[in-house]
Amino acid sequence: AIEVSVRNICIYKIKRITLKMYTRRAFSILRNFSTRDLHLGNLKFSPIFPGTSNVLKTLPLARLPQAQSTFINTLQIRSYAKSKDKKKEKGKKAGKVEINEAQLREVINFDGVNDHMQKAVQQMRDDFVKHLSLRSTSGAIESLRVHIDGAEHELQELAQISRKNPKTIVVNMIAFPQTIPDVLKAIANSGMNLNPQQDGTTIFIPIPKVTKEHRENLSKNAKTLFIKYRDLIRDIQNNTIKKLKKQSDISKDDIFAIQTQVTAIADKYIAEADKLLATKQKELIGES
């Protein structure tokens, strides 16, 4: 009875050792799938039972279709999932921001912000018309801004303006002769390539020929005006966001959402101003 018990215990231990060995080797096989044929010639198998040493010499992968398919397909699925996630993230970044006006009105002066940005673009458009003409017109001269003692006036408020001939504009300063130095300075710095000539209380403005240099200068002036109004729009945006962040009763998520929308509104008006600049420069340089 003792011999039978010892023999049974030995057989049980041998079975457990055999199971552990083949389990480990099975995992090793799965981890080392790299070629079409699975070569196990370098692996040494201790013969536990007679005739088992050469069983696994070279095993084609085709004999393990389920193991191969499961392992490789799992890797492919993970790879595709990452690729799709990246595409989704890129799509979100490049996506258009939706403007929720109702949400914005609850926390900021949306109408005021929108109106100020819109007016900045309109003012730039007006300045392009008034100050960036290839040929100076009486209208452009009339609306010329003159700074006097810290105040700003249009030239037509200070003088009578007329055209003597197609090549000369006459500015009569008899009503406010004391402002002549300021008017001369404003005309010379108008960016219209004008060279005013004073005769008593009268200023004569010869209209210059349109040269390539003049066109290029006007184009540079257009860029300067664009930068001025672009920065104005950004200032409106930044001031709005600064006030928003001071409100303690708004969550961080809501602040971020509103900040994103305000930035999108500013970007829209800057893009509009940029299109106006491109059109104006094309006109000034003479490109078709």
For 234-274, write each residue's pLDDT tens digit. 999 999 999 999 888 888 888 898 899 999 999 999 999 99
Structure-token match 């069983």, residue found? 55
Q: What does the pLDDT average to over 62-67? A: 43
201 and 257 within one domain: no
pLDDT of 144: 87
Same domain, 51 and 185: no
d(CA 229, CA 21): 78
Assigned token pair, 267? 């970007």
Residue 47 pLDDT greater than 80, yes or no: no
Q: What is the mean pLDDT of residues 167-179?
A: 94
Residue bearing the bigger pLDDT, 68 or 97 = 97
User: Is the domain of 117 the same as that of 218?
Assistant: yes
Q: What is the CATH number of the domain that holds 185?
A: 3.30.1360.40
Using an 8 Å Cβ cutoff, are 230 and 269 in contact?
no
Of the three residues 63, 78, 94, the one that is the final residue of a domain is 63
Structural domain of 267: 108-121+212-285
Q: Are 201 and 177 in contact (CB under 8 A)?
A: yes
Statement to judge: residues 271 and 217 lie in one domain: yes
Do 265 and 113 form a contact (C-beta atoms < 8 A)?
A: yes
Q: Which of 219, 220, 234 is nearest to 271 (CA)?
A: 234
pTM: 0.53
Q: Residue 56's pLDDT band (boundaries 50, 70, 90)? A: very low
For residue 161, pLDDT beyond 90: yes
The pLDDT confidence band at residue 153, using thresholds 50, 70 and 90, is very high
Torsion of CA 18, 20, 22, 23, to 10 degrees: 150
Residues in the chain: 288
Neighbouring residues of 170: CB distance < 8 A, sequence distance ≥ 6: 161, 162, 163, 164, 202, 203, 204, 205
Q: How many domains does the chain have?
A: 3
